[in-house]
Structure 1
Amino acid sequence: MRLLHFDALGRLILTDFRGKPIPPYAILSHRWSDSETLIEYISNGNYKEREEGSKKLRFCAEQAAQDGLQYFWIDTCCIDRWDNNERSKAINSMFQWYRNAARCYVFLSDVSLSAVTETAACSDWEASFRKSEWFTRGWTLQELIAPVSVEFFSREGQRIGDKASLDRLLHDITDIPLAALRNCPLDQFSTCERRRWVENRRTTEDEDIVYCLLGVLGISMPTTYGEGKESALRRLQAEVEGAGSAPSIIPFSRNQSFVGRELQLVELEAKLFSNEQTTTTLAIVGPGGTGKSQLALEAAYRTKQNNRSCSVFWMDASDIDSLYRSYASVAQKLSIPGCDDDQADIKQVAKRCVAAISARQCLLIYDNVEGTTRRPSGSSTTQAADLADFLPHSKLCSVIFTTTESNTAEALAPQNVTALHELTPDTALRMLQNRLTTPLSNAEQQEAMRLLEELLYLPLAIAQAAAHMNASSMTVQQYQAQLDQHKEAALKYSDYSSEGEQRIPGLRKTVAATLSLSMSQVRHSNAVAADYLFVAACVDRKDISLDLLDAASPRAREDAVKVLDKYALVTRRPAECALDVHRLVHQTLRKRLQVQGQLMQWTQRTIAQLLRVFPNDDHSNRSKWRRLLPHAQHALSHSLADDNDEERLNLAWKCAMTLCSDGRYEEAEELEVQVMQTAKRVLGDEHPGTLTSMSNLASTYRNQGRWNEAEELNVQTRKRVLGDEHPHTLSSMNNLASTYMDQGRWNEAEELGVQVMQTRKRVLGDEHPDTLGSMNNLAWTYRNQGRWKEAEELFVQVMQTTKRVLGDEHPHTLSSMANLASTYINQGRWNEAEELVMQTRKRVLGDEHPGTLFSMHNLAFTLQSQARHAEAFALMKRCSQLREQVLGEQHPDTQSSLDTLSDWRAECSDESP
């Protein structure tokens, strides 16, 4: 949980209290406007520019101070909207956050007391209060009920009253029982009664009217935006009814329109839990759009329905991050130790989770596995063995995989592969009828059978056809006639191949035809919506941020996205402010643009938009760049390297910087080489931009342990062109000093380091980050020469200054703490070393960041020096494994950990009897 406060200098500080005792705090309840202060504005100091949000922020801070509270919480400012995992946790934790608040302030932006005088009638004030929109919103229900203290304020910040003094008026407005308003335990009210409290309220997103009840009902359940209100209600009801059943997580409601696949379903159910020795593994394979996930979903619900003692867990295996998030959710559901600790190693949590699952009867669904089985950096080798590390090994368990790749299915479930092909005609007709809002007459059913044959009985095509007919009020015959007009054009847009799609003749043509028809209607009704599809075609198909979709206004963008959703061309993710595009739709859109000769033009437009929204590499933007990176990398990799394309060059540079900040040096190097080569061609060898790109690349080489290549990247040219005291010159000199240090050339490193530090102090000032960086480098030089006191003195200066200037959790502050800790270790000051917080670094940078691994390495030495040999050995072993995985076997840091591990193993052997 993050909390806000103003420090003694009047600076707004956002502090993360994860893993720490949470101090007393005030909390704000309010309705969102179009000018809210978001967390990124707090981090970059621009929060005052958002008029409405800044006004509420100041009100909350001042009111909290009057009540003797230093800290306060506002949802828009304290939740990172770019971090999907954080948002999901927040929704399920929100009720408790309001419950634990010392004070809750309700800011009523539509209630004014400025016109109320001492002689004004009370009824005038009450009329305004009663009409407030705050009482009509879904999320404010829990904000009224959860806190012990709730106080109401007008838009001028004047106090109106509190929940105690206004309880009868609040009861009259909301119809919530007085006992509930007076903080009576909610379990004294039936579930049905509590659900009625939200009946006259509304939310922007349909699902939120259900999700806002989670805390009120004491339910924890995954949020799945895009599922719709009815689906969310069914899942909520299932959670309520399943209170006595085995814990399960199925993030999708049961498909009430599920038809067909009866034979495959019977086959799957018969094979579940059939292996008497170990886990039963099954796989469902088929082309995209054939209903693999729907078949697995129905199997999951039938298993849960038929065996209340069997847990069912749905795992999103589309990529490794999604898989880890799924394990984290399961761990929380099973109360696995450490699962609520954000500092915990997620891989270890997953392994503990697997052990717990293996001890109970359980069905796991791994959906869309192929995204997880690819090695990074373009390697074609599969990681099936790695995935196997996270599977249960117990005869009590069964696993179902879904995939489009037959080789993946065979590798994961060699004896139990269920292949899906086209639906039977009768099943396809039932599916169409279930999706249409207007029932088909007998005559129309004959027309529908001819249409379905043309659609190859493909579920994806049927869903799009039904959506089109519903949206345009078309009959089957009208749709068929229009589809015929798009067949010829579709042939040009269907010339792409994928392993799964090749198995059904004409599949590509079918998808292209339905898409072409839908596109024509979308273009006619909302041209902006059609443009959004072309932008989506130029980025990664999943988690496409709405920030990438340019619009005249938020309302215009929302209207366009709703059109795409209505025609079943996208899957909306409202809570993430994002959308997904089906893989077949994505491929067809790209082919369409290519045939029309517009793919490069749209890619360039998309790169320009990416550049506008892509953040710098400051650590406060980490969640944002991690979500945008896949889209930027996709656009860059599919664009032409044009020397005159400044926007492409700048985006590549931004991506490289963020990749470096995340410790992904190989990916960063590839982009940095491109930037440097282009800069050399366009700007010349001695242009400042070229020299900066060379310096960045040299830094990346050094982080990879490639000292000679780093040194070759030429500080002398920069000195000659820019002058001895230019910041870029000093940056290169500092990098060169670091390279000397890495090579053990201490005297040269010290001489250059002192020169850089003194010059930076004079030119940039004592507190400039570059000055602190040079002080840090010089301190390391002293440390490696055994000059502990001099090193300690500089490290302390750096740490104190970075804490003051950048904050306690900035990566530079954490690095300075780790550096000082290493100096304490060398002086035998073990307790002081251990106190310097490796766990904070893990939370901010992540488990596998090179900086985290550096702290792990140092902490292992601390433990070893305290004779805690077993702990030290285990930590160093983990560190060496991660360094080998992240940095490579030949990296000097990896070798250092491996050598240390070997020495400690030998010492243990020598000491044994």
Structure 2
Amino acid sequence: MNQSNQDNAKGWQTQVEGGILYQGDISIHNYPTQQFHSSPPNNIPYRGVANFVGRDEKLVELDKKLLQNDNAAILAVAGMGGIGKTELATQYAQRYKVNYPGGLCWLDARKPDLAAEIVQFAQFYMKLEVPKTLLTSQEQAKWCWHNWQPQTGLVLVVLDNVDDVTNWENSRQVLPTDNRFRILMTTRLRNLGSTVQQITLDELSPNDALNLLTALLGENDRRVQREPQTAANLCKWLGYLPLGLQLVGAYLAEDPNLSLTEILQRLPAQQQSQLEAVFELSWQQLDYMTQCVGELLSLFAPDIIPCQLVESASQQLNWAKADIDEARKQLYKRHLIQSVAERESCYKIHPLIREFLQGKLVGLNTADDLKQAFAAALVEITQKIPQSLTLEDIKSVQLAIPHLAEVAQNLIDAVQDENLFWVFNGLGKFYEGQGLYTLAAPWYKQGLSTVQTHLGDAHPDVATSLNNLAYLYYSQGRYDQAEPLFLQALELFKRLLGEAHPLVAISLNNLALLYNSQGRNDQAEPLFLQALELRKRLLGDAHPSVATGLNNLAYLYYSQRRYDQAEPLFVQALELSKRLLGEAHPHVAASLNNLASIYKSQGRYDQAEPLYLQALELSKRLLGEAHPSVAASLNNLAGLYNSQGRYDQAEPLLLQALKICQQVFGVNHPNTVTVRQNLENLQA
């Protein structure tokens, strides 16, 4: 029995992926997972201050209230800004984590999409692939709570900075309800409802405030002992607020000869805004360059700030790296920035200090320069995001994403017109590359609207934005919505750039992919041929885009059983990808898989098996164990074993592939249906 007849008898279906992103000419579309840690997931961002006094009883009270409930407990630590709510939550999470073997999850309620934060946590810390069939980010967040790993033990969820009613209402929609989760909130609000227990965090007692000030100055400093009444008056002036005490303590530590009487005299008599006065005192102590760096830092989102990103922005301003490093040291020394646990060279800014620093930008002559430099540094990152995202790619860019979103939402006027597209393309590609389509779509839509508003309807960036949104719909199987956008993009590219342009080739190729997926091969083939010919003419024969064109045309022939035409194209695509991209690249894995499928279909099993094995190993290494491309390789290798009658080897591979597809795509996605049918046919 020849190979094709045997495959038909078994009803085997091959799953091979193909696709293109923007200018990406990618023969495999990626949805990376993140690295899984064997210990319980934990993303507590702060180390906690070394001098933590006066709150031990509150820690005990927190633990008692959180653990005593049988139902999901929501406990709010309420108090004014600067009182130490976040620090209390940090200390509790660090000291009592043994009570939460299921893990600790720290969320920031100020994020524009809290559901996205939950999904990213699940992917990075628990290796979960969220089903792409879930249409809303809220559904995806709820799925993450339901599938939390490990499956046993309580989980602590810290929801920081719930500071307005709207913020709270939005957060409630995505919080877990299962009784294994304990939710600890920090908020400036009171009376959040009957379902929320509340602990009010007041200022420190006068004695605890004195103890904190003493500890901050160090055991060898005797100023508090020499001026006990002045020290008490200073603590009172500061309202016994931990943040104010930390800043004044840092100020005093800077000058051991400065008396407490002198610093109290430097503070204004009016006390309506103690913290702002203390911020100003620290601000005046900074040199000009350090003040400039502080103003720059205020532009960042209220999230982890990588030093490398600060340096990139400072390069736009021609600031010397040595000056930036010294400024960061001075800001950290004075408690104006905080270090981040388990992340070297990263900082955060207290929300109140960020607000103070942003106030310094108002009316500043150089404010626009700072904003433009900040935006330019983020744009530069987006332009370096590769077309085919791997695990390492996601890891390398993820800390920049909140700050890129800050540019998109609040600083878009600081972005040059030619870079507007890149802001939204970077955000969309980051989420789309992980299969988070519901999070990618708003950025692509906003990007399309923004470039249309700023550049008009007849601009290449509008065409590219149409193409990106269309490709997102294509990836979701929403072909009816994708086709008109692909056609608009193609028409616009041709009109603006002429018939002979690389972007026209990409647009032709993407439309052909859509038609191929719909079985409209008579329409797909001439478009693939046009795209390939155009790429060769414009880019030369040795270009990654040509390799993609060869692969996609070959796959069309393969699907039509035109093996003699498909094989040499697959061979060329593989050789070209290896030469241009290196042996370890997702395109190479895809080409290995495709060529192996040709050999299998021709009954050349000895040639097919090693290629399938190479493709599987490479996909796992680059993209993670639970990636759709891994499922495809497992399915195809199982098909080879099925064709050889090696059913005991085929079945476990199909079970693995089915598990991945169900988790990633859902039970009714075409890929899932294909694998399930293959398994049923094998078991029949």
TM-score of the two chains, using structure 1 as the length reference: 0.55
**Are 2:303 and 1:542 equivalent residues in the alignment?**
yes
Alignment of 1:235-246 (within 5 A): none
**Are 2:581 and 1:581 equivalent residues in the alignment?**
no
How many aligned positions are there?
A: 593
Alignment of 1:20-31 (within 5 A): none
**Are 2:220 and 1:431 equivalent residues in the alignment?**
no
Evaluate the alpha carbon distance shift between residue 467 and residue 644 of structure 1 in structure 2; reply closer, same or farther with a 3 A threshold: closer
1:561 paired residue among 328, 332, 351: 328
Evaluate the alpha carbon distance shift between residue 703 and residue 273 of structure 1 in structure 2; reply closer, same or farther with a 3 A threshold: closer
Query: How far did 1:519 drift?
Result: 1.9
Query: How far did 1:510 drift?
Result: 4.2
Query: How far did 1:785 drift?
Result: 2.5
CA contact (8 A) 1:833 1:862 kept: no
1:737 paired residue among 496, 505, 512: 512
2:664 paired residue among 882, 886, 905: 882
Measured in 1, the distance between the counterparts of 2:580 and 2:427 equals 26
Indicate the SS of the match to 2:347. Answer: strand
Letter in 2 for 1:607: A
Partner of 1:456: 239
1:609 paired residue among 377, 387, 391: 377
Query: How far did 1:410 drift?
Result: 8.9
1:479 paired residue among 263, 282, 285: 263
Partner of 1:798: 573
Measured in 1, the distance between the counterparts of 2:507 and 2:66 equals 63
Letter in 2 for 1:879: C
Alignment of 1:260-659 (within 5 A): 260-268=54-62, 283=75, 285-287=77-79, 289-292=82-85, 295=88, 315=104, 317-318=106-107, 320=118, 353-355=150-152, 358=153, 380=171, 382-385=173-176, 402-405=184-187, 418-437=199-218, 438-441=221-224, 444-473=227-256, 474-484=258-268, 509-522=273-286, 526-547=287-308, 548-549=310-311, 550=314, 552-572=319-339, 576-593=344-361, 602-612=370-380, 614-618=382-386, 619=389, 622-641=394-413, 645-659=417-431
Measured in 1, the distance between the counterparts of 2:121 and 2:365 equals 35
**Are 2:516 and 1:748 equivalent residues in the alignment?**
no
CA contact (8 A) 2:470 2:483 kept: no
Measured in 1, the distance between the counterparts of 2:405 and 2:77 equals 29
CA contact (8 A) 2:634 2:653 kept: no
Letter in 2 for 1:771: V
Deviations 1:695-753 (A, max 9, x none): 44443343333432333324244335544332222222212211221222111101221
Evaluate the alpha carbon distance shift between residue 421 and residue 845 of structure 1 in structure 2; reply closer, same or farther with a 3 A threshold: farther
Structure 1 residue runs without a partner (length 5+): 1-84, 90-220, 223-247, 329-346, 394-398, 488-505
CA RMSD of aligned residues (A): 4.9
Measured in 1, the distance between the counterparts of 2:454 and 2:198 equals 55
Measured in 2, the distance between the counterparts of 1:476 and 1:533 equals 27
Letter in 1 for 2:295: F
Letter in 2 for 1:385: P
Measured in 2, the distance between the counterparts of 1:690 and 1:310 equals 53
Measured in 2, the distance between the counterparts of 1:686 and 1:788 equals 42
Evaluate the alpha carbon distance shift between residue 290 and residue 621 of structure 1 in structure 2; reply closer, same or farther with a 3 A threshold: same
Indicate the SS of the match to 1:404. Answer: strand
**Are 2:670 and 1:896 equivalent residues in the alignment?**
yes
CA contact (8 A) 1:663 1:850 kept: no
Partner of 1:136: none
Measured in 1, the distance between the counterparts of 2:371 and 2:498 equals 40
Alignment of 1:677-692 (within 5 A): 677=449, 679-680=451-452, 685-692=457-464
Partner of 2:140: none
Measured in 2, the distance between the counterparts of 1:840 and 1:407 equals 51
CA contact (8 A) 1:615 1:625 kept: no
Deviations 1:779-807 (A, max 9, x none): 22223324345434433332232122201
Measured in 1, the distance between the counterparts of 2:439 and 2:103 equals 32
Structure 2 residue runs without a partner (length 5+): 1-33, 108-116, 128-143
Evaluate the alpha carbon distance shift between residue 856 and residue 899 of structure 1 in structure 2; reply closer, same or farther with a 3 A threshold: same
Partner of 1:225: none
Partner of 2:141: none
Partner of 1:233: none
State which drifts further: 560-569 or 629-638.
Answer: 629-638
Indicate the SS of the match to 1:385. Answer: coil
- Bigger relative contact order, structure 1 or 2 (CA pairs below 8 A, ≥6 apart): 2
Alignment of 1:4-15 (within 5 A): none
State which drifts further: 559-568 or 751-760.
Answer: 751-760
Measured in 2, the distance between the counterparts of 1:271 and 1:254 equals 22
Measured in 1, the distance between the counterparts of 2:244 and 2:655 equals 57
Measured in 1, the distance between the counterparts of 2:270 and 2:578 equals 63
Letter in 1 for 2:501: H
TM-score of the two chains, using structure 2 as the length reference: 0.71
CA contact (8 A) 2:512 2:525 kept: yes
Evaluate the alpha carbon distance shift between residue 554 and residue 808 of structure 1 in structure 2; reply closer, same or farther with a 3 A threshold: same
Letter in 1 for 2:211: R
2:52 paired residue among 249, 258, 269: 258
Evaluate the alpha carbon distance shift between residue 368 and residue 839 of structure 1 in structure 2; reply closer, same or farther with a 3 A threshold: farther
CA contact (8 A) 1:260 1:427 kept: yes
Measured in 2, the distance between the counterparts of 1:795 and 1:652 equals 34
Measured in 2, the distance between the counterparts of 1:742 and 1:638 equals 39
Indicate the SS of the match to 1:258. Answer: coil
Measured in 1, the distance between the counterparts of 2:589 and 2:210 equals 62
CA contact (8 A) 1:701 1:710 kept: no
Evaluate the alpha carbon distance shift between residue 653 and residue 877 of structure 1 in structure 2; reply closer, same or farther with a 3 A threshold: closer
CA contact (8 A) 2:298 2:358 kept: yes
Query: How far did 1:763 drift?
Result: 3.7
Measured in 1, the distance between the counterparts of 2:74 and 2:445 equals 45
Evaluate the alpha carbon distance shift between residue 819 and residue 624 of structure 1 in structure 2; reply closer, same or farther with a 3 A threshold: same
Letter in 2 for 1:480: L
Measured in 2, the distance between the counterparts of 1:310 and 1:638 equals 40
Query: How far did 1:628 drift?
Result: 1.8
Measured in 2, the distance between the counterparts of 1:270 and 1:642 equals 49
Query: How far did 1:302 drift?
Result: 7.3
Query: How far did 1:906 drift?
Result: 8.1
Measured in 1, the distance between the counterparts of 2:641 and 2:350 equals 51
Indicate the SS of the match to 1:285. Answer: strand
Letter in 2 for 1:896: P
Measured in 1, the distance between the counterparts of 2:656 and 2:448 equals 42
CA contact (8 A) 2:628 2:661 kept: no
Query: How far did 1:409 drift?
Result: 12
Letter in 1 for 2:106: A
Query: How far did 1:569 drift?
Result: 0.4
Measured in 1, the distance between the counterparts of 2:175 and 2:46 equals 26
CA contact (8 A) 1:317 1:323 kept: no
Measured in 2, the distance between the counterparts of 1:251 and 1:698 equals 37
**Are 2:567 and 1:785 equivalent residues in the alignment?**
no
Query: How far did 1:559 drift?
Result: 0.9
